[in-house]
Structure 1
Amino acid sequence: MQENVLRMPGMVPILATFAAVMSSLSILLPASPAWVTAGGAGASGAGLVTATLMGVTVLTQLVAVRKMLTYIGWPVTVCAGTLFMGLPSPLQALSSDLWVVLLSSALRGIGFGIVTVCGSTALSILIPSHRRGTAVGLYGLAAAIPQVIFTPLAPWLIEVLGYGFVLSSGLIAVVGAPFAWKLGRLVEEQTSAEPSGEGVDGLGLVILRIWPALLTLTLITAAGGAFFTFATELGYTPALATLALLCLTAVGVPTRLYGGSLTDRWGTRILMTPILGASSVGIAGIGISAGMEEGSSRATVFIVSTVILGIGYGFLQSVSMVRALADAGAKNGAGAAVLWNSNFDIGTGLGGLAVGAMAQVAGFSVAWWIWAVLVLAGAVVMGFGDMKSSASRRSQGRC
């Protein structure tokens, strides 16, 4: 009988730390832009808040985290991530001035960048490879559940309890600090006997090893980012848009969990390309619905297509992370974690920009069709690449 992943050293601290930080992110993600809008900053100011948060997150992931781990160690770094994410949150409640919220969001981006990289790196260090898929699925669950609960709940809480309470509730990330400290200690104990930096490749070489996982992640998160950005226009009524968003996020809960678990049994290559190809069907369906007349038929096509996209969106996050960590090799887990997390955020932002630009020129229907073709092309390229790689390994007498 296989050991329960939840009982493995480090798994509970990983999940508790990440869930606390994701709860803080999820409740402020809609609240902070709404706050500056209410203060007169307008749509551009609201967009700048989210852009600042994610931009600083990516910069932290790419530039700062590995240096922090080297110079100040795991316990201090991970704990600092939870504090950076939580403590600046009440600052926003003091004023709706744009500069105040941008400062707070930038500090929170530092914390989010730290925790996302450290969490996925810790998985690669503490969890054996034969159980890593299940661990990644649980890690995805720790992200998905706060998103499903807090993101839709935030507008209602603002109406009932006010902006001050909701913005200050971002402090919940601090609850993860004790778990973060314990996690850092466990990782340092695990790695203390290993020669520091021995055999570690630069990010450029790691990219060459894990590009299929990164390409898959970028394509699917771009579709998700575009959907989150333009759900109101695609849904054409507030009720339909809300239902679609709930479908996308809710479907992501079980699929992120089982997407990771299935890789322990089947591996990543047999799952990743077919699911990416199937996701293109959902993306194309959204394009079809955008070109239909308003009514029940359009609503049905839209919701069914959203569910298909949501399945791929959840599955591929877990599958691509497992593959990235596996393809990178044991010594390059930190580099793979940096690249996976930064590509997630880049893809999310890219989707809104790319689909928005195409829609501006040719309309939403054509824009989503184009993205569906790109996703399908990516699946075909990676499918042939994996087939060629498998044939090469068989010819050399390897599994």
Structure 2
Amino acid sequence: MTTCEVPVERSAPLLGGQFFRLLVIVLGSGLSMYLLTSVVPLYLAANSSAGLGPGLSTGAMMLSAVAMELVVPRLLARWGYRVVLGLGLILMGLPAVALMFTTSLPVVVLISMIRGAGLAINVVGAVALIADLAPPSRRGEALGVYGVVVGVPAVVGLPLGVYLINVIGYDALFAIAAVLALAVLGLTVGIPTRTTTEKSHVKVLHDLRGNGLLMPAFVFAGVTLAAGISITFLPLAAGNHSLAATALFLQAATAPGARWLAGRYGDRLGHARLLPLALLLATLGAAGLIFITTPAAVIAGATLFGIGFGAAQNLTLTMMYDRAPTSRYGQVSALWNLAYDGGWGIGAIAFGTVVATTGYPLAFALTAATIALGLLPALRAATRSPSHR
């Protein structure tokens, strides 16, 4: 073993008490979120807000999440993990109850914004805490386990929420979403109060030049741009709801497993070394949607993209933590989540503008090309990175 190699310590169990508590919190808050992600737009459409309402509620939620992510490191530095994560759960749970008593578009949009702020708090705080709790030699694996857990609510909650509307109705579903977030609030008692985030590093966009954080963030933003496009426009482009539902399910279902595997093998082989492969798979997957009228190409493309997207999530995040001191962990988490949500939102808006002129095949080709742009910096990082074994 050379001096630059990192020993891999695997004797201690990864799922310790605090880590397990955090994963349960992530599961509860994620289910609360995704059960209503597609339901709130339908709720507005069913109550005379079918035009601007559905898109506005989702857009407001995402905009609120991005804005909140800029201040979460400051909150962590001042109040610590326990208080901040508890606040996030409350902001997700209580507003869901309020949905039972209103169909007003402005009020529902405001509720969506509050829940978006809660989501931002939970994802940024959870990722930063995992980086604190996990030993450096197993950080990638720990983030991979988190990726699996955080992916389950998306796979289960999105279709389940829509299904339950006709079974139990909107009000009961809103109540369930509230309970899921608030029920895990008690688990924050076992969460550390202190954070390694220092007050000098609470500004998310401060002092980023020369520290190696921007490259993986921008590369990942290119992948999330394509993710936002596929989620938003695949059903419209395919013109076949069954095909679109199958493709999106495979994309969502393959991502968590790929995220975990990328973390596990990245700890052994080097995360930077695996990133080009993840980007290549994501590029090929996005390119498969060029043949939007061919079901086999759509299914294969969505599956490949899900694998590449999941792997890129873990690899870029772990690379950023490996390049940052512990005092910047809150900043790293917020920056990575900004790349996630910002790329998602920009992709959906930009694609909608482009496709009106180019049509779907060319627009999907441009999407694949956008991901491919990240291959060059990723290959440079891979050649400069020593293997961990």
- Give me the TM-score of the superposition, normalised by structure 1: 0.89
Confirm or deny: 8 A CA contact 1:235 1:244 kept in the other structure: no
**Matched letter for residue 384 of structure 1:** R
Decide whether aligned partners of structure 1 residues 201 and 103 sit closer, same or farther in structure 2, where only a CA change above 3 A counts.
Answer: closer
Decide whether aligned partners of structure 1 residues 381 and 139 sit closer, same or farther in structure 2, where only a CA change above 3 A counts.
Answer: same
What residue number does 1:106 align with?
113
What residue number does 1:295 align with?
none
Confirm or deny: 8 A CA contact 1:283 1:369 kept in the other structure: yes
2:224 to 221, 226, 232: 221
What residue number does 2:56 align with?
48
What residue number does 2:20 align with?
12
Decide whether aligned partners of structure 1 residues 201 and 346 sit closer, same or farther in structure 2, where only a CA change above 3 A counts.
Answer: closer
Q: Does residue 38 of structure 1 match 2:41? A: no
Q: Percent identity?
A: 25
**Matched letter for residue 263 of structure 2:** G
Q: Distance in 1 between matches of 2:209 and 2:58?
A: 27
Deviations 1:138-180 (A, max 9, x none): 1111111111111111111001111111122221111221222
Q: Does residue 24 of structure 1 match 2:32? A: yes
Deviations 1:233-287 (A, max 9, x none): 2322111111111111111131122122121111111111221022111111111
- How far off is 1:201 after superposition? 8.2
What residue number does 2:3 align with?
none
Deviations 1:75-104 (A, max 9, x none): 222111111111110111212211221121
**Matched letter for residue 210 of structure 1:** L
Deviations 1:52-91 (A, max 9, x none): 111111111102x223223333322211111111111011
- How far off is 1:367 after superposition? 0.7
Confirm or deny: 8 A CA contact 1:32 1:167 kept in the other structure: no
Q: Does residue 355 of structure 1 match 2:355? A: no
Q: Does residue 273 of structure 1 match 2:269? A: no
**Matched letter for residue 50 of structure 1:** T
**Matched letter for residue 374 of structure 2:** G
Q: Distance in 2 between matches of 1:14 and 1:348?
A: 25
Confirm or deny: 8 A CA contact 1:24 1:86 kept in the other structure: yes
Decide whether aligned partners of structure 1 residues 36 and 78 sit closer, same or farther in structure 2, where only a CA change above 3 A counts.
Answer: same
What residue number does 1:3 align with?
12
Q: Distance in 2 between matches of 1:88 and 1:158?
A: 18
Q: Distance in 2 between matches of 1:250 and 1:351?
A: 21
Q: Distance in 2 between matches of 1:226 and 1:200?
A: 31
Q: Distance in 1 between matches of 2:64 and 2:302?
A: 30
1:327 to 319, 323, 327: 323
Deviations 1:179-207 (A, max 9, x none): 2232133xx2x75xx9x547888633236
- How far off is 1:29 after superposition? 0.2
Q: Distance in 2 between matches of 1:95 and 1:201?
A: 37
Decide whether aligned partners of structure 1 residues 140 and 83 sit closer, same or farther in structure 2, where only a CA change above 3 A counts.
Answer: same
- Give me the TM-score of the superposition, normalised by structure 2: 0.91
2:154 to 147, 155, 166: 147
Q: What SS is found at the alignment partner of 1:6?
A: coil
What residue number does 2:142 align with?
135
Q: Distance in 1 between matches of 2:11 and 2:364?
A: 43
Structure number with the higher helix fraction is: 1
Decide whether aligned partners of structure 1 residues 50 and 207 sit closer, same or farther in structure 2, where only a CA change above 3 A counts.
Answer: farther
Q: Does residue 203 of structure 1 match 2:214? A: no
Using the TM superposition, name which of 197-206 and 44-53 deviates more: 197-206
Q: Distance in 1 between matches of 2:357 and 2:216?
A: 31
Decide whether aligned partners of structure 1 residues 303 and 338 sit closer, same or farther in structure 2, where only a CA change above 3 A counts.
Answer: same
**Matched letter for residue 107 of structure 2:** V
Q: Distance in 1 between matches of 2:342 and 2:364?
A: 19
Q: Does residue 242 of structure 1 match 2:242? A: no
- How far off is 1:385 after superposition? 4.6
Confirm or deny: 8 A CA contact 2:274 2:382 kept in the other structure: no
Decide whether aligned partners of structure 1 residues 278 and 176 sit closer, same or farther in structure 2, where only a CA change above 3 A counts.
Answer: same
Please give the root-mean-square deviation of Cα atoms over the aligned residues, in Å. 2.2
Q: What SS is found at the alignment partner of 2:374?
A: helix
Q: Distance in 1 between matches of 2:76 and 2:128?
A: 11
What residue number does 2:361 align with?
365
Structure 1 unaligned blocks of 5 or more: 293-297
Q: Does residue 59 of structure 1 match 2:59? A: no
